[in-house]
Copies of this chain bind each other. A is one copy, B any other.
Amino acid sequence: MTQVFNFSSGPAMLPADVLRQAQEELCDWNGLGTSVMEISHRGKAFIEVAEQAEKDLRDLLHIPQNYKVLFCHGGGRGQFAAVPLNLAGSAGVADYVDGGYWAESAAKEAQKYLTPNVIDACTTVDGLRAIKPMSEWQLTKGAAYLHYCPNETIDGIAIDETPAFGDDVTVVADYSSTILSSPLDVSRFGVIYAGAQKNIGPAGLTLVIVREDLLGKANIACPSILDYTVLAKNDSMFNTPPTFAWYLAGLVFKWLKAKGGVAAMDKINQQKAELLYGVIDNSDFYRNSVAAANRSRMNVPFQLADSALDAVFLEESFAAGLHALKGHRVVGGMRASIYNAMPLEGVRALTDFMQDFERRHG
């Protein structure tokens, strides 16, 4: 069988070693004779898994002591509600930087709880999609926080610079698609959250990293399962957490550490992105319409000059073991999601295929 490389945007590829370990011990974990997904979240055995996962994540991201790490239900969209419900306080307004589909969706959900001041950060530079410089972002005085999404999976647009507007501005970031892919200074954020299904583990788990001084302010209408304070007080076990997803996330964190941590991933991710964008840029057959400074290293959308070839491209790439390359319906074309779990040889297999396809159809 052809080796398969899966470019799905999420749920996405997991490290092959992690899946193999999970498979080996699925029915008999830790010599218990049961699966890790069959044991109590409150028992000693699972609590060790949970604590180790948190410790490894703290090591990987150098999370300061004054931040809580929460393992939650509800996905990124759950956090679109949780953020205003936990942080709005009496401000009544928060700044939402709109750099694409997900940032916009977050602002829309926030409308239920406050008035989002939507900062349209999209622009074009030389005909390419780009993000306006932060100096042009018009912040609201007295806003509860500034929300942004550093990586837009659909548009393939990234904001790599961390917002810096002084200590008065609490920065909240949706890191769902880019967490653990490059170094990150947690201390510059109030809240970082991330759905697991791209760089962390399977869908159904959400990570929240929250600065302690932001706790204790939840709206009375905040469901307990989204209340950071309740979750923090109960070590994310106020209700039964998604234990199997937590365990898998723990395996991914261990795998990342063994690979050299976030700095090492950063280097590989850079190589992967350079290789793929290089092939796109050195061809008139493929194009990507994002300005270089805002190109995502996680999600690379690209169009074929002749969209009539899209179906053939998808059929042939699938047959070559290159899966899930169809672009999001909003932008069309192709998209290769190349999260941490995608090895360099996967991107090489893709670029080899792309060049061969171009030779045959160009």
In the docked arrangement, what's the CA distance between A321 and B31, Å? 12
B14–A204 contact, CB under 8 A?
no
B239–A75 contact, CB under 8 A?
yes
A12 CB-CB contact with B under 8 Å: yes
A55 CB-CB contact with B under 8 Å: no
Interface stretch among A32-40, A115-123, A280-288?
A32-40
With A204-B204, A204-B244 given, is the CB distance from A40 to B11 under 8 Å? Answer: yes
Give chain A's interface secondary structure class. Answer: loop
Chain A interfacial residues counted at CB < 8 A: 66
B241–A203 contact, CB under 8 A?
yes
A39–B240 contact, CB under 8 A?
no
B12–A81 contact, CB under 8 A?
no
Q: How distant is A231 from chain B, measured CB to nearest CB, in Å?
A: 11
With A19-B26, A203-B242, A244-B203 given, is the CB distance from A8 to B324 under 8 Å? Answer: no
In the docked arrangement, what's the CA distance between A220 and B85, Å? 13
Partner of A73, one of B8, B14, B75: B75
In the docked arrangement, what's the CA distance between A80 and B224, Å? 9
A225–B75 contact, CB under 8 A?
yes
Contact with B along A180-213 (1 / 0, CB 8 A): 0000000000000001010000111100000000
